[in-house]
Amino acid sequence: MSRVSSSKVYRWALHYLRPYRKKITVLLAVTGLEIVAGLLTPWPMKFLVDHALGTSPLPQWMASLGSNRMTLLLVGCGAYLLFHLLSEFISVAHTQIQVGIGQRVIFDLRQELFAHLQNLSLRYHLSQGTGDTIYHLENDAYCVESLTLNGALPILSSAITLAAMFFVLLRIDWQVAVMSLIVVPLLLLVNRYYSERIVEQSEQVKEMESGVLNLVHEVFTSIRVVKAFGREAHEQQRFRREGATTLEARMRLTLQESFFGAMINVVTTVGTGLVLFVCGYQVLHGRITVGELLVALTYLGSVFGPLTTMSHTIGNVQASVASARRAMRTLQTSPEVTDAPNAIETASLRGEIEFRDVHFAYDESQPVLDGISFQARPGEMVALVGLTGAGKTS
């Protein structure tokens, strides 16, 4: 199978969400409320600094609150508490809905993989090993949640949040808004540089980890043979050798991921420093108030927050792309034994089995069964006798 493109991998993962359209709609609505709550959160702080504690006059639509500073202080603190509590409750609802959908799509993929793996030929399982099959069901199945609910959805949410925050910053001060986006090209370069390396290494590490699991399964399913021939030390050496190689590969991958995260943080920190300087300059020249400065800095964190989330998410899902490619490769493997086009549907069976001139081979160049014919009637006991390797099991 040729290497599957990332766009095709995402389309494949997204189709697992189709049975949960209504739940996804609710999740998107809650996500929208979460974005709105995030937009409202900084404004009570501006109200407190500029109006309750400062000397700025209230806007016309708030004139009914009066001029008593204690009243304004209580209103500001109450609004601050209300908005934060609202944000937390929405976040809890968002998490519960997302986890519920995520666990279901993981289970759906596991069921599909389990059914397909059972239908694949003995040759496939002998060549791949049971450990690889278990790794598919236990680890690779998480890819569908990681690519959709933990990948595409956070990126979409972050993009909407970024647009909303940028609009508000633009209303406060256009120079601050423009400076807040100066990091975007740098983040894109960092993403492009590390993403390709991370996905390639992730795929290699997963293959190696499934190989170690194969070794473990092989040893413990044959533990009587291992003990009978005193092979414990030999198997321990094999495990240590393969495990150490896998460990080194995992550490190299972790180092790449750590560098990726560090570069994202460095870029956003530099951007924060630049915007902080511009904001301070605007306050010194009386172009914005201290309260607006606080709102701008809060929104700045909310701008860099989505940018950082998008960058980290894009980096983190690369490992899931590797898992998805493995799962897709398995699901696209066709069973060797399938019904013939003229296969007959049987309504009921009498229990009689007849082999009539049966030919079979795992490899076309080496036939195992050549013209086998026999009958096994209900109630009879039939024994197949022959030398080792003669084809009795087949």
pLDDT digits (tens, 9 = 90+) for 80-98: 888 888 888 998 998 899 9
Angle at 293 between CA 51 and CA 289, to 5 degrees: 50
Assess whether pLDDT exceeds 60 at residue 387.
Answer: yes
Angle at 77 between CA 72 and CA 83, to 5 degrees: 125
Please give the pLDDT value at position 107: 92
pLDDT: which is higher, 23 or 1: 23
Work out the mean pLDDT of the chain and round it to a whole number.
80
Assess whether pLDDT exceeds 90 at residue 26.
Answer: yes
Please give the pLDDT value at position 271: 76
**pLDDT grade, residue 316 (50/70/90)?**
low
Residue 255 neighbours by CB distance under 10 Å: 11
Please give the pLDDT value at position 3: 66
Please give the pLDDT value at position 356: 92
What pLDDT, in 10s, does the model give residues 334-351?
A: 887 777 778 777 777 778
Q: What is the dihedral of CA 49, 54, 58, 64, to 10 degrees?
A: 90
Assess whether pLDDT exceeds 50 at residue 1.
Answer: no
What pLDDT, in 10s, does the model give residues 163-184?
A: 777 777 777 667 767 776 777 7
Range with the poorest average pLDDT among 11-25, 251-265, 368-382: 251-265
Assess whether pLDDT exceeds 60 at residue 294.
Answer: yes
Percentage of the chain exceeding pLDDT 70: 88
Please give the pLDDT value at position 108: 92
Question: How many Å apart are CA 203 and CA 326, to the nearest integer?
Answer: 8
Question: How many Å apart are CA 343 and CA 193, to the nearest integer?
Answer: 54
Task: Give the pLDDT mean for 296-318.
Answer: 62
Range with the poorest average pLDDT among 162-166, 194-198, 313-317, 373-377: 313-317
φ and ψ at 75, to 5 degrees? -60, -45
φ and ψ at 369, to 5 degrees? -115, 130
Task: Give the pLDDT mean for 219-247.
Answer: 87
Of the candidates 55, 163, 34, the one whose C-alpha atom is nearest the C-alpha of residue 97 is: 34
pLDDT: which is higher, 111 or 291: 111
Task: Give the pLDDT mean for 121-150.
Answer: 81
pLDDT: which is higher, 251 or 286: 251
pLDDT: which is higher, 367 or 109: 109
Assess whether pLDDT exceeds 60 at residue 25.
Answer: yes
Percentage of the chain exceeding pLDDT 90: 7
Position of tokens 């894109």?
Answer: 188
What pLDDT, in 10s, does the model give residues 180-200?
A: 677 777 777 777 776 667 767
Sign of the alpha-carbon torsion through 145, 148, 150, 153? negative
**pLDDT grade, residue 314 (50/70/90)?**
low
How far is residue 333 from each of residues 113, 138, 202, 259, measured CA to CA in Å? Answer: 11, 19, 22, 37
Assess whether pLDDT exceeds 60 at residue 391.
Answer: yes
What pLDDT, in 10s, does the model give residues 252-287?
A: 888 877 787 778 778 777 777 777 777 777 777 777
